[in-house]
């Protein structure tokens, strides 16, 4: 694998499903390390700090450090800190996302009339009242609107479940407004964050994941080599119908090192 210096690996549906590693994932990830690649595990789940994901990977038998983990929550918090400094945020999202925003000293409010920007994300306690308040907040055109990630569904242990994209789209629909940015993969901010973490050039980087419109799209426009795994949410039939064309399609992350 001399043509590569690093790899961006999706987590859920690629390396893990639920609390455990997918079949062959432990050896597949280790094979990439043995080939000399630097790794970043990039999850579009915005609800956990990188340290929690590193523990989850390690508990499943996959070697990972906190410094090797990037999430949509990380990218969102950094984006807001850079592009919306000194603002106050009304968040539709879970406690883990709120904690990540506060960790960068961002100010949150429960009063929608005090919000400069609404941040929408996955929230497993999302209600009609939340949607109503988001509508009221975004009826003021001066209030910004940002989403954490576009994943409409995400793989749980046994089934797909609604993700951030479902809630962001609901808010956008009722408010009649599109977010200025939906962070996480495949947003350019996400790609730049991953490449900066790896310290490699795009053409020397692999992207491995189970989603066409996030993982494969992340590398498509940047000259990265993309590998779709069929262990998550995408079927071979969907590949043929997609606007995104991976360079390789394999059954699992265990097959990636063997491609090269």
Write the CATH number for 164.
3.40.50.1000
pLDDT band at 227 (very low <50, low <70, confident <90, very high): very high
- Whole-number pLDDT of residue 154: 85
Q: How many domains does the chain have?
A: 2
Q: Is the per-residue pLDDT at 5 higher than 90?
A: yes
| Domain presence at residue 49 | no
Mean pLDDT, the chain, whole residue set = 96
Average pLDDT of the segment spanning 107-123: 98
Residue-number span of the structural domain to which 199 is assigned: 6-44+185-259
Single residue among 182, 207, 231 that ends a domain in this structure: 182
Per-residue pLDDT band for 158 (boundaries 50, 70, 90) equals confident
- Tens digits of per-residue pLDDT, 25-83? 999 999 999 999 999 999 999 999 999 999 999 999 999 999 999 999 999 999 999 99
Domain presence at residue 124: yes
Specify if 215 maps to a domain.
yes
Residues 131-156: what's their mean pLDDT?
95
User: Interior CA angle at 74 toward 227 and 140, to 5°?
Assistant: 110
Strands 38-43 and 6-10: parallel
| Distance (Å, whole) CA 243 – CA 226 | 14
Each residue's pLDDT tens digit, 122-139: 999 999 999 999 999 999
Q: Do 88 and 136 share a domain, yes or no?
A: yes
* Band of residue 18 on the pLDDT scale cut at 50, 70, 90: confident
The answer to whether residues 76 and 148 touch, using CB atoms and an 8 Å cutoff, is: yes
Q: Structure tokens of 234?
A: 């995408």
């Amino acid at each position: 694998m001399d043509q590569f210096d690093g790899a961006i690996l999706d987590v859920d549906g690629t390396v893990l499903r639920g609390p455990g590693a997918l079949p062959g994932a432990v050896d597949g990830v280790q094979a990439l390390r043995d080939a000399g690649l630097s790794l970043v595990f990039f999850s579009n789940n915005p609800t956990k700090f990188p340290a929690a994901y590193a523990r989850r990977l390690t508990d499943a038998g996959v070697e990972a450090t906190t410094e090797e983990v990037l999430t949509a929550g990380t990218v969102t918090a950094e984006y807001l800190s850079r592009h919306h400094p000194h603002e106050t945020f009304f968040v539709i999202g879970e406690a883990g996302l709120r904690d990540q925003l506060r960790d960068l000293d961002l100010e949150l409010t429960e009063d929608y009339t005090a919000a400069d920007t609404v941040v929408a994300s996955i929230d497993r306690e999302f209600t009609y009242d939340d949607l109503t308040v988001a509508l009221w907040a975004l009826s003021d055109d001066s209030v910004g609107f940002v989403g954490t990630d576009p994943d409409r569904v995400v793989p749980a242990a046994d089934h797909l479940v609604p993700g951030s994209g479902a809630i962001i789209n609901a808010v956008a629909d009722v408010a009649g407004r599109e977010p200025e940015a939906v962070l996480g993969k495949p947003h350019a901010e996400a790609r730049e964050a991953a490449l900066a973490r790896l310290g490699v050039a795009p053409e020397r980087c692999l992207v491995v994941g189970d989603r066409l419109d996030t993982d494969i799209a992340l590398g498509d426009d940047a000259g990265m080599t993309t590998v779709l795994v069929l262990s998550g949410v995408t079927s071979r039939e969907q590949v043929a119908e997609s606007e995104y064309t991976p360079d390789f399609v394999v059954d699992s992350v265990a097959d990636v090192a063997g491609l090269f």
